[in-house]
A and B are shown apart, each in its own frame.
Chain A
């Protein structure tokens, strides 16, 4: 199916007249400040625009139309109620600079969201301002750096990253002015503790980890990892990409992590398929509380107010003009309120059950699991190295053929250490029938 560019639908003088004021206005812009030629924008009718963008939307695989098992991305169903309530005009049309007295409702929502995320992750404080996972990671490593600097421990500039980590982890460390040291993963999927022990030292700023890790297994020696890194004076960073696997079961704060970013758009229900927007809220342990990005919502008696640089003088600063992606925060809040405590646990239980069911069925069907001796978390890896060797049919071929059958391809060729791999994450919202069709 081919759709022309919107520019190719243009005819001179045409536009969607109902979408802008029609009363002729003499421009008050001084002549010297006006542009010489009009911008080259499309000239189409409203119906042409509606059809064009509707047709383009129909070219997309989306979670509302197709199974979307994109590992490490948690493409799960986003309940429509989250969207509906987040679009209430009172929430949608509030100006961020309006007085706090006229926004106690939204401030209370954000305060309660902070509290709920603290409870879910076991962290001491939460800041909601990072506008995507990448900004959350940036905030996390910036806080780790700020912590060491505040202690005049200037030598700590090295971030340790397991080789299975998301590319964002080493990229973030570099952006924050750190150097990156990679450590290997053992054949059984756990971090190589000897390599970790050998890697830490007075130069260690911290380690960035996902748990469950990117190879879809829970890191069994997380307590040893924590001990080794903390004893060396480093801090632990938790990449929340895989939070869906552990909701209501275990808490990164209890595992000893000092900072976590949460992809609220993945775990807590915002459609993010078109690229975003996201939200990378961060949670911190006691020692990082003074460095949180501002603003944070605080409570004075029965009033809520923004806490800013005056309240947190050691803050790493602001990551967005205002409060981050409030629309995504609202959806997360509504989703969590709908789930409640018990629902939160069912998310991780069903996500893990679906993943293990799919892994077992694919194994029975003759596919090779990358870590067959390990129980899968919310995602697992199939390696197609045998198919590639014997038939010349590689992971990319399988991925493309799945699209023909109406399934979005799983993540391919990631993590990099497993050859010809598919990283499959069914999520909790798929039915057994859908999983069976995929098999």
Chain B
């Protein structure tokens, strides 16, 4: 408990027995311990933490499970739709959550650029990061994507692949 970096907020009782909150174990921190502090952290990511706290409060366990299940289902539907496109296949058959690596039969970059011209950011080109995979495209779907989105993407990818194959 005396080693973590940055701020820790503790809960305690005041003289009237009401609960209150305060930064605690501050003797680890830079403004007191200076060169012997456990970190130099001062400003942190407070607003992002607040947003995440509110989001988790709204969703609860049930909502969180629904978001996860829907993300996973949408990704499955996206993968199913995309691997029907000639020249596209799935890289791994292990269980996946909301992302999947697809392998193309041609360089990814021009395909993504063609999709961008159609108003679609088609995924991340990870070919350079993982050269052993070859032409690898990382796609992802969350609970915010609809089946119509997925169909639009699959149709655009099919046309893009057909056109660039015709050009080659």
Contacts and interface: CB of A to CB of B under 8 A. Distances in A.
Is B truly associated with A?
A: yes
Interface of A: 2, 6, 13-17, 19-23, 25-30, 33, 38-44, 46, 49, 52-53, 95, 97-99, 101-102, 131-134, 137-138, 161, 166-168, 170-175, 180, 263, 265, 271-272, 274-278, 414
Contact of A25 (B50, B59, B70): B70
A44 B143 contact: no
A170 B38 CA distance: 11
B58 A16 contact: yes
19 contacts: A16-B60, A21-B66, A29-B72, A29-B95, A38-B65, A42-B56, A42-B60, A53-B54, A132-B43, A133-B43, A134-B40, A167-B30, A167-B31, A172-B40, A276-B43, A276-B45, A277-B44, A277-B48, A278-B44
B156 to A, nearest CB: 14
Given A41-B57, A167-B37, A25 B48 contact: no
B63 A39 contact: no
B63 A168 contact: no
Across the A-B interface, the 5 shortest Cβ-Cβ residue pairs? A275-B46, A170-B35, A171-B40, A171-B30, A278-B43
Contacts of A414: 31
A33 B94 CA distance: 12
Contacts of A170: 30, 34-35, 37
Contacts of B46: 272, 274-277
A171 B63 contact: no
B113 A27 contact: no
Contacts of A274: 46-47, 50
Contact of A138 (B31, B40, B121): B40
A25 B43 contact: no
Contacts of B124: 97
B166 interface: no
Given A21-B143, A174-B37, A41 B44 contact: no
B39 interface: yes
Interface residues of B, number: 55
Contacts of A132: 41-44
A434 to B, nearest CB: 25
Contact of B60 (A43, A95, A98, A172): A43
A393 B72 CA distance: 62
Contacts of A25: 66, 69-70, 73
B2 interface: no
B58 A171 contact: no
A20 B116 contact: no
Q: Which of B59, B64, B143 gathers the greatest number of chain A CB atoms within 10 Å? A: B59
A168 B30 contact: yes
A189 to B, nearest CB: 20
Q: Which of A20, A42, A99 gathers the greatest number of chain B CB atoms within 10 Å? A: A20
A95 B56 contact: no
A408 to B, nearest CB: 16
B65 to A, nearest CB: 7
Contacts of B91: none
A133 B69 contact: no
A171 B39 contact: yes
A5 B30 CA distance: 30
Nearest to B121: A98
Contacts of B84: none
Contacts of B15: none
A41 B64 contact: yes
Given A101-B116, A134-B41, A171-B37, A276 B47 contact: yes
B57 A49 contact: yes
A27 B60 contact: no
B124 to A, nearest CB: 4
A126 B158 CA distance: 43
Contacts of B70: 20-21, 23, 25
A161 B47 CA distance: 31
A26 B113 contact: no
Given A27-B72, A53-B50, A174-B37, 4 more contacts: A15-B59, A43-B60, A101-B113, A276-B48
Contact of B54 (A22, A49, A99): A49
A52 B37 CA distance: 35
Contact of B57 (A44, A271, A277): A44
A199 B40 CA distance: 24
A171 B43 contact: no
Given A27-B65, A39-B64, A20 B54 contact: no
Interface string B93-112: 00101000000000001001
B143 A102 contact: no
A21 B41 CA distance: 38
Nearest to B41: A134
A132 B53 CA distance: 21
B7 to A, nearest CB: 7
A378 B44 CA distance: 24
A46 B58 contact: yes
A180 B40 CA distance: 14
Nearest to B50: A274
Nearest to A96: B124
Contact of B121 (A30, A99, A263): A99
B71 to A, nearest CB: 9
